[in-house]
Amino acid sequence: MQRAICLAKRGHFTTSPNPRVGCVIALNGEIVGEGFHKKAGQGHAEVHALKQAGSKAKGATAYVTLEPCSHFGLTPPCAEALIKAQVSHVIAAMVDPNPKVSGRGLELLAAAGITTQFGLLEQDAIALNPGFIQLMTKKLPYVRCKLAASLDGKTAMASGESQWITSPDARADVQRLRAQSCAVICGAESVIFDDARMNVRWDALGTLKNSYAEADVRQPVRIIIDGKNRLTPDLAIFKTTSKILLIRHAIEKSQTWPHFVEQVTISKAVDSEYVDLSLLLAYLAQQGLNDILIESGAKLAGAFINANLVDELVLYQAPKLIGSDGKSLVSMPTIIKLSEAKILDIRDVRMVGKDIRITAKFSQ
């Protein structure tokens, strides 16, 4: 199962929005077949492993990180493929949270006389697919917020100058965060001020280029919150052709937008001039976007955090001091007491180049 989990990780930057899944088939203590799910619409992990195992799959044990599917999607059910191959035993790390499966795959296998188990290295398997699991269980995407600051918590000079606070290594790491995400959210102000493209830049992916072809790394949907309709088609973000959603209160009809741009109206929050962020996330979930990265300025990041809509924070801190006149990390003016502070559980701290990367989960 450890090998199956390692295989699943090979789809980390390509499978989304499908789950990352690995499968190992073993006979008499030896691996005879293995595979992983690479991309939506392509063969599942079990299919690749069975193809490699061939006739040796008969009587073998299949170790799979996620319960084999039992329904027809873009590909046939994997449970039926395992039955047809006449494996004798199937061990799943976890039951599929998808209501279309959720135990039915294991039931189908058991009805065919195949013995089944689940729960082996379950937590490792859960960690593979936070977005997929959250969408299936809560009908919401998993939201990750990326922030970058100096050691004294400043994101830019008072003038707005911010390029670059963090090191090239940290910025390459952010490219990997984008590459693993279904979508990236930013605000119109950031796009206009930085003339940002918000796409995954292949030349900045570093060592990832040794393991993936450029065509396999999917560009995330770029979501720009532009409630005041300030964006114009001449900006750099509209020069690259991956999909863009412009989130607005009203459709802009006076501009001609590229074919990959879609305008979406989201209502204002109650007693506010801004987009209702809860409604936005619900809309993205309906579109099947389950793993979201927020890259924005202090106001939008603070609004998401203040509304308890962020699951995970990734903070890069550079070994620099900017001073009191610099721009702050997040803006949450409604927090006026220490007892109202947002509490985080730090899960990982490591060096990325010369910078510190802190990964933390918000306490519920």
Is 360 annotated in a binding site? The answer is no
H/E run at residue 23: strand 22-27
Tokens 């009587």 map to which residue?
59
Is 222 annotated in a binding site? The answer is no
Is 216 annotated in a binding site? The answer is no
Among the listed residues 94, 99, 151, the one whose alpha carbon sits nearest the alpha carbon of residue 125: 94
Backbone angles phi, psi at 107, to 5 degrees: -65, -40
Is 60 annotated in a binding site? The answer is no
Is 162 annotated in a binding site? The answer is yes
**337-to-144, 209, 304, 334 alpha-carbon distances in Å:** 25, 47, 19, 9
Is 234 annotated in a binding site? The answer is no
Is 78 annotated in a binding site? The answer is yes
207: Cα separation from own chain's centroid = 20
Is 301 annotated in a binding site? The answer is yes
Is 181 annotated in a binding site? The answer is no
- The pairing of strands 89-92 and 261-265 is unpaired
Among the listed residues 68, 142, 95, the one whose alpha carbon sits nearest the alpha carbon of residue 293: 142
Determine how many CB atoms are found less than 10 A away from the CB of residue 254.
5
H/E run at residue 63: strand 61-64
- The pairing of strands 154-156 and 22-27 is unpaired
Catalytic status, residue 273 = no
Is 11 annotated in a binding site? The answer is no
Provide the token pair at 200.
């995954």
H/E run at residue 318: strand 312-318
308, amino acid identity: N
Report the alpha-carbon distance of residue 2 to residue 64 in Å, rounded: 10
**Sheet hosting strand 30-36, strand order edge to edge:** 30-36, 22-27, 61-64, 89-92, 115-118
Is 300 annotated in a binding site? The answer is yes
Report the alpha-carbon distance of residue 209 to residue 57 in Å, rounded: 33
Is 148 annotated in a binding site? The answer is yes
Is 302 annotated in a binding site? The answer is yes
Tokens 């199956």 map to which residue?
4
Is 183 annotated in a binding site? The answer is no
Catalytic residue among 30, 34, 46, 340: 46
218, amino acid identity: R
Is 186 annotated in a binding site? The answer is no
Q: Which sequence positions are flagged as catalytic? A: 46
Per the annotation, binding residues are 44, 69, 78, 148, 162, 164, 178, 194, 201, 295, 297-303
Per the annotation, binding residues for NADP(+) are 148, 164, 194, 297-303
Per the annotation, binding residues for Zn(2+) are 44, 69, 78
Per the annotation, binding residues for substrate are 162, 178, 201, 295
